[in-house]
Amino acid sequence: MDRRLLAPAASHGTLTASFRWAIPARFNIAAAIDAWADGAGRTAIIALDEAGRETRVSFDALHALSCRMANVLAARGIGRGDRVAILLPQRLETAAAHLAAYRMGAIAVPLFVLFGPDAVAFRLADSGAAAVITDGAGAAMLAPLRDTLPGLRAVFTVDGGMVGAEDLAALLPAASDRFATADTAADDPALIIYTSGTTGQPRGALHAHRVLLGHLPGVELPHRFFPQAGDLFWTPADWAWIGGLLDVLLPSLFHGIPVLAHRFPKFDPDAAFALMARHGVRNVFMPATALRMLRAARAPSGVTLRSLASGGETLGEGLLDWGREAFGFTINEFYGQTEANLVVSAAADLFASPPGSMGRAVPGHGVAVIGDDGAVLPPGSLGDIAIRAPDPVMMLRYWNNPDATAAKFRGDWLVTGDQGRQDEAGNLFFVGREDDVITSAGYRIGPGEVEDCLTRHPAVAMAAVIGVPDPVRTERVKAFVVLRPGHEPGEALAAEIQGFVRTRLAAHEYPREIAFVPALPVTATGKVMRRALRQAPP
């Protein structure tokens, strides 16, 4: 059963010209994945426990488990439209809980297991979650919060009952493995994924069931016309984030491709290489920070990847060169955000991306650089990267936040909040978040290009760049640098690094200030937190 939205083609232009969306009026994510639960025993999830022991779960077993979960939830009064929070790491029950919620017509609310109690409490209260599926650690964190969450009717644990939570594993055997999947419209709500902006509380991006179909071209293109025979997908990114859930887990299951379920408590590049080699992983989504850690580790042995894609940060030529040498193909960069994901992608098999480009619009998506008036700017102009509405990958709205929803749009364009430019061939260049662009002596400087140049210096392992106030230039470029082993910080090395950048970029772009740090602050998905750097003491 070939369900690809993109048929292999020889050029990006051919793909784009021939592509047409065919979103059915009625669509349910769980029902779409059920197509593979046909009794054939096809593998859906390869789950690894903390000791590395492997359990293979078929689509048939996954379907039965999700139906049992749906029946347990329904017996507690959870129904269509109710929010079901899922506070679990990468494991079988996480995938089954998502499918159970979609199957019921409920709305899944994925939560990251490393969130603290305040972060979890806000998301549960804002979404009005009626139930939480979690483990013992999550239930222990929730216990003192229950009095502040009057709408939370049930907490289930997947690894044994405890005070204030029901033992889901004990309830499942008695529940039926059949459940009538809700007849949902493609535009009916399916999940809320919370995303943090630069100010204020996180916002819940409400997505419809069609969001899975909307993601498919943006998965298939950077992964070299995924799926192919023998493919096996893995990501170190947690399934609570859109990158783990909708860039990997759900598209793979939709295509009948198994997913390796394992997330390291702390990313270990040597262990990641060993994992990919041992299990024959063929397809990987890897955040840029993790890729940089892989580059600094030993050379891969026995790794047989077919595709590797990355998003969230600009990779830079140095990392791309390393990828070609290490894996024998080019890492494809892609771009999107929680509100409208995977809309831009490189595709090295089809076209060469100029240095610094993150690719072109994925077929089916309209992406442009626009001005304050919503008009598309001429090629080469710096402006706001925006996505044309309507689009099946685009959120319905922000949950409980009509003002933020209205502010996100400029006419028919969803404004990403990122600054960029686009050349005449359609290649898009990310310059920086709107609040990350540095204005120095009349120049507008994107941190990504400077960071890429910094990491080409043999002493630099990682770098992040911000603008700091300057009485003459408005702002000056400041770099935070993590050194490779064997290099010691000092004024001489700082001067050497400054000269390295100045001679390779421009006099106005080199960092006039360098701070050597042991590590960079990063988000749970591996993005550098420049906001934290700006708030750090001078």
pLDDT value, residue 441: 63
Measure Cα distances from 312 to 181, 242, 273, 289, 433 in Å: 35, 11, 21, 9, 11
Which amino acid does the sequence have at 536?
A
Residue 155 has a pLDDT of: 97
pLDDT at residue 525 in the model: 61
Q: How high is the pLDDT of residue 315? A: 84
| Count of beta carbons in the 10 Å neighbourhood of residue 16 | 16
User: What pLDDT does residue 198 have?
Assistant: 44
The pLDDT assigned to 472 comes to 65
State how far the Cα of 478 lies from the Cα of 497, in Å rounded to an integer. 12
- The reported pLDDT for the residue numbered 442 is 54
Q: What is the pLDDT of residue 502?
A: 85
**Encoded amino acid at 414, one letter:** L
Paired with 388 in beta bridges are 413
- Residue pair 105/188 in contact (Cβ under 8 Å)? The answer is yes
Going along the chain from its start, the domains and CATH numbers come out as 23-209 (3.40.50.12780), 436-535 (3.30.300.30)
Copy the structure tokens of residue 224: 């070299």
* First-last CA distance in the chain: 59
- Would you state the pLDDT for residue 414? 98
User: If you search the block for the tokens 């909708």, which residue do you land on?
Assistant: 246
Structure tokens at 173: 């055997």
Q: What is the DSSP letter of 146?
A: G
pLDDT at position 51, please? 82
Distances from the Cα of 299 to the Cα of 60, 235, 274, 383, angstroms: 38, 19, 11, 40
Helix axes 288-296, 317-327, angle to 10 degrees: 60
Cβ atoms of 88 and 18 within 8 Å: the answer is no
Query: What averages of pLDDT result for each successive group of 10 residues across the chain (538 residues)?
Result: 93 94 97 98 95 94 98 98 97 98 98 86 95 96 93 95 89 98 98 74 93 98 98 95 96 98 88 95 91 83 95 84 95 95 98 94 98 96 96 98 96 94 96 73 70 90 90 83 95 95 80 95 76 81
The b/e string for 295-306 (b: 16+ C-beta within 10 A; e otherwise) is beeeebeebebb
Q: What phi, psi does 175 have (nearest 5°)?
A: -85, 150
